Amino acid sequence: NIKRNMEDGYTTFGEYVVHREVLDESRLETVAQKGTWSTKPTVSERMKDMLRCSVSQVKNVLLTWIPILSWLPKYPFRENIISDLMSGCSVGIMHLPQGMAYALLASLRPVLGLYSSLYPVLVYCIFGTSRHISIGTFAVISIMVGSVTERLAPDSNFILNGTNGSEIVNLAARDSYRVQVACSLTVLSGIFQLLLGLVKFGFMVTYLSEPLIRGYTTASACHVCVSQLKYLFGVKPARFTGPFALVYTLVDVCRLFPQTEIPELVVSLVALAVLIIVKELNDCYRQKIPLPIPIELIVIITATVVTYFCGLNTEYSVDVVGEIPTGFKPPRAPDTTLFSQLIGDAFAVAIVGYAINISLGKTFAIKHGYKVDSNQELVSLGLCNTIGGLFRCYAVTSSMSRSLVQESTGGKTQVAGMISSVIVLIAVLKIGSLFEDLPKAVLSTIVFVNLKGMFKQFMDLPMLWKTNKVDLLVWLVTFISTILLNLDLGLAVSIGFSMLTIIFKTQLPRYSILGNVPGTELYLDIDAYKEAKEIPGIKIFHSSATINFTNAEMYLESLQEKSGIDIGKLQTEKKKQEAKQRREQEKQKKREKDEAKKNRLNKNKDNQNGVVLSMPDTDSDISGKGQINWGYHSNRVTSDSDSDSYEVFTVDSNQGEGGKKSCCRSGTHSIILDVSVTSSMDTVAVKTLKNIFSDFGDVGVTIYLAGCQACVVEQMERANFFSEAVPKSCLFVSVHDAVLHIFKKLGQEDNDFDVSCVTQM
Give the E-state strand segments of 538-642 in sequence order.
Answer: 538-543, 635-640
Does the CA dihedral 588-589-590-594 come out positive or negative?
A: positive
214 contacts 475 by C-beta, under 8 angstroms: yes
Domain 523-569+631-760 has CATH 2.40.30.70: no
Q: Is the whole model's pTM more than 0.75, yes or no?
A: no
Looking at residue 657, what is its pLDDT? Answer: 35
Residue 611: predicted pLDDT: 47
Give the CA-trace dihedral at 150, 153, 155, 159, to 10 degrees.
180
Under 8 Å between Cβ of 334 and 187 = yes
Give me the residues of the chain with pLDDT under 50, please: 1-7, 9, 611-663, 749-750, 760-761
514 secondary structure, DSSP code: E
Query: What pLDDT was estimated at residue 392?
Result: 92
Helices 440-450, 77-105: axis angle to 10 degrees equals 120
- Order the strands of the 661-662 sheet from edge to edge: 635-640, 643-652, 661-662
Which among 400, 412, 398, 394 has a CA at the least distance from the CA of 119?
394
Q: Which amino acid is at 560?
A: Q
Specify the pairing of strand 511-516 against strand 538-543: antiparallel
Contact 85, 411 (CB under 8 A): no
Secondary structure E strands in 508-614: 511-516, 523-525, 538-543
Domain ranges across the chain: 79-161+169-502, 523-569+631-760
Q: Looking at the chain, how many residues does it have?
A: 761
* CA distances from residue 9 to 14, 62, 420, 421, 435 in whole angstroms, order as listed: 16, 60, 59, 62, 71
Q: Which residues of 433-445 are buried (b: 16+ CB within 10 A; e: fewer)?
A: eebbbbbbbbbbb
Q: For the chain, what is the largest distance between any 2 Cα atoms, rounded to a whole number of angstroms? A: 153
Convert the pLDDT of each residue in 419-437 to its tens digit.
Answer: 999 999 998 888 878 888 8
Question: Residue 129 has what pLDDT?
Answer: 92
Of 603, 276, 311, 287, give the one whose Cα is nearest residue 446: 276
Q: Closest Cα partner for 438 from 106, 172, 90, 97?
A: 97
* pLDDT given for residue 606 in this prediction: 60
pLDDT at residue 545, rounded to an integer: 86
Torsion of CA 320, 322, 328, 333, to 10 degrees: -90
pLDDT for the residue numbered 613:
41
Residue 182's closest CA among 349, 58, 43?
A: 349
How far apart, in Å, are the Cα atoms of 130 and each of 89, 117, 133, 361? 19, 17, 6, 6
End-to-end CA distance of the chain: 12
